[in-house]
Structure formats: structure tokens, C-alpha cells
Amino acid sequence: MINRYTRPEMGRIWELENKFAIWKEIEVLACEAQAELGVSGITKEEAAWIRAHADFTVAEIDEIEKVTNHDVIAFTTCMAKYIDAEVPEGAEPPSRWVHYGMTSSDLGDTALSYQITQAVDIILADIRKLGETCKRRAFEFKETLCVGRTHGIHAEPMTFGMKFGSWAWALHRAQVRMEQAREVAATGAISGAVGTYSSIDPFVERYVCERMGLAPDPLSTQVLARDRHAQVMTALAVCASTLESIAMQVRLLQQSDVIEAEEPFTKGQKGSSAMPHKRNPITAERVCGLSRVVKSNAQVALDNVALWFERDISHSGAERVALADSFTALDYMFGKMQWMLDGLQTYPAKMEQNLWRTRGLIFSSKVLLALVDTGISREDAYVIVQRNAMKVWEDIQNAVDGPTYRERLEADEEAASALPPEKLDEIFDPWDFLTRKDEVFKRLEGLEF
């Protein structure tokens, strides 16, 4: 991922320095396990020497790989130089025990699993922080009236806090998915070529995995099955879709014709090079755009599941790009969403104005039910409600200052005979829609991240 969309903590996880540091730890642990097992010939003193002297530099590994065209061999060659540097002349080199009985995937896949757990932990922290923000702001706007919209059209009244509440629940589901994906991904394999433990005891695998916080794969072939990685990537993709959904709503709320809320506009910020009045939802748009990258990368992970027989490396290059980019982009998206939602500018007066913008049409469902309650058939009641509503719609569409929906009903002989003024007062109270909203917020109170 380019630096523009990389936050430092996540970026460090996917740097070569971190990857090779994990490789080093796995190789050292494997040596210690062999020494503990006491079968291969390595002594505990040699394992301690390897622990004390193992080292590498990324630059040296890169230079060696130019010759070997094999990153694992380049790494072990580099590390061997440091391990053996101070060994007395004529003594057997301790580095000979490094990578003993292992294959490249034992090292690479186990390390990748550990990197994934590191990255998932950052995403989980991101989710918790944003979820808690959404929950807090939901209660902040619990009593703030706004119009609900379906298909982009005014529907019925709701409160603005319910928007934040729905986002909080969506983030909680994202948290559950990521926790499940982490458990599936936290798996290591040190089982040798094609996974038969032909030259390495399963004790080594158990020893290394336990100390890395991983579970041994019960049957790994030569690689960890890529359905594990696909589950991680699809969890990231769904999470990105959730952030996209929230950002999309911020964009819609910020439209000049709506302007009920907008992302923060900081001091000195410029909205347009040509139109100085503009305050564009650029951050929300950026989140929506980056979500496309994360979602697309999930397809890469799904395609990586099918490998030839016990392994091939068709997945390797693709996942080196896709995994790092998806984690990095999603972490960046969370940072921007946290800034955006924590500081979201809201305009309750505009929400109130918009609530009445359709001149009372949003109360049509209450009118329908009230007419049915008087004994009129639903079909006949619908005709009464709709014929008056369509007249109001026509006035609105043509920018005519005509009667409100209530005034239309009062002038309609059939409607007026069934619904007296006091009943209309009750119907045209927006809070009448929200007598049970506390049940929703009671559930939200119990939500924990």
C-alpha cells in the first residue's frame, strides 16, 4: 500500500524487517525444540548460541536473493553468517541446525499466520474504538428528530441517534467476524515436505506454535490451506463494506439539498480549486473508494484456495500484495471513519425542517391505519390516503405553495368525516411514531465491544 494510506503501526507489520524477525524467531524456536527433544543431535548449548547470535539485515538478504532467487534460502544463508561469525576456527558451525527437517512453507506460512494475528489485533482495536464512538453518539442524538428515508424518499420519522446505533451494531458484527477469522488464521505448520513429518518430529511444531500463540494445523500438506486466509480476507471485505455503507450515508446527508450532517471541515481546508464555496465529503468518498480495493482483494484470496495437489505457489505473489494492502487500507479507513464520526457536524434544525419538507406526507401510514380503525376497508382507505397525497406531491414537484397533507385531508369529505381534528392532532405528531424507541436504545445499552 502506498504511504498515503498507511498508518505506522499497521505498516510496520508488513515491512520486511518484521517478517524476517518473525522468521528468525521461528527458526530459533525450532532449534530450541530440537535440542529439547534430543534426537537430531543439536545440543541445548548450540541452541542457546543460535539464540544469542542469530541476526540478519534486509539489505543482505536482498543481495543474496538476487543470486539464489529463493527468499527463504537467502534468509537462512544470511542468518548463518551471523550465527557462525564468532565460532572458533575448526569447530562445527551451529548454523547447520537451522531449518533442520523443515521446508520453506513451514517457515513462511507459520510466520504469515503470526503476521495476520498481529494485523487482525489492530483491526479489532479499530473496530472497538469506532463502535464505542457510535454507541456514545447514538445516545447523544437519542431525542433528535429526523426523517427516515427508504429508496432515498422520505418515509417516517425516526431519531438521528438510531443511525449511530445501527452503525454500532454493524461494527459489533464485524468484530465477531474478525474474532472468528483470527481464530482460524492463528495456525502454524512445521510438518516438512508434503506435511508427513518425514524429517521432523511433531513435537517441534507443537513447541514453536505454542510459543507463537498459534495452534498446529491438524493436517497441513505442505502449506496451510488457503481457505483460512480467504476467511480473513472476506471478513476484511465485509468490514470494509460496513465502513463504506456508513461513509455513503454521510455523503448523502452532506448533499446541499439535505445537509443534515457533514464530515469535519478543518481550519485552512479548501474544498475546490475552482469553487471556493465547496465543502466536499472527500474523506467519506475516499473510504468508499478504498473499500473497493479491499473487496476486490477478497476475490484474490478466494482464487488462492485452489492449489495444485499438496501445494504450488500461484497464491504466493498475489497474497503478498493483497493481504498487506487490505489490512493497511482497512486500518487507514478506520482512522478516517473515527475522525469523521467522532467529529461529525450535525444540524438538528435542518433535520426538523426536512422532516416537514413534504408537507406532512410522512404521516400517511398513520392516516391509513386510523381510517382502517374506523371500519373502512384497507383498500378503500388506501384510495383516500393516496389521492390526497398525490395532490401534495404534484404541488411539491411543481414548486407550488399548495395545501399541506393535513389540510388536504380536512378538505376531503370522506377523510374528514372519519377523522376528527383531535384525531388528526394525534396522527400528525412525529413523536407518535417513536413511542417504542426506548426498546431499541435499551438493547443498545447492553452492547459491548
Annotated active-site positions, please? 151, 272
For residue 419, give the DSSP letter: S
DSSP classification of residue 216? E
Q: Which residues pair with 146 in a beta bridge?
A: 158
* Cα 209 to Cα 214: distance, rounded to the nearest angstrom: 5
Residues 324, 252 contacting (CB under 8 angstroms): no
- Report d(CA 286, CA 198) in Å as an integer: 51
The answer to whether 172 touches 131, Cβ cutoff 8 Å, is yes
Helix (H, G, I), strand (E, B) or coil at 300: helix
What gap in Å lies between CA 112 and CA 118, rounded to an integer? 10
Residue 356 and residue 157: Cα distance in Å, rounded?
A: 10
Query: What is the rounded distance in angstroms from the CA atom of residue 138 to the CA atom of residue 148?
Result: 15
Could you tell me the three cell numbers for 229? 486466509
CA distance 398 to 193: 75
Report DSSP state, residue 230.
H
Q: What is the DSSP string of 83-130?
A: HHTTSPTTSPPGGGGTTTT--HHHHHHHHHHHHHHHHHHHHHHHHHHH
Task: Count the alpha carbons within 13 Å of 404 in the hemisphere toward its beta carbon.
Answer: 12
Measured between alpha carbons, how far is residue 235 from residues 181, 309, 330 in Å?
Answer: 7, 27, 11
Beta bridge partners of 215: 187
Q: Quick one: CA dihedral 28, 30, 31, 36, positive or negative? A: positive
CA distance 43 to 49: 10
Q: Is 38 exposed, middle or buried (0-12, 13-18, 19+ CB in 10 A)?
A: exposed
Distance CA 220, CA 226 (A): 10
- Asked whether 421 and 146 are in contact (CB, 8 A), the reply is no
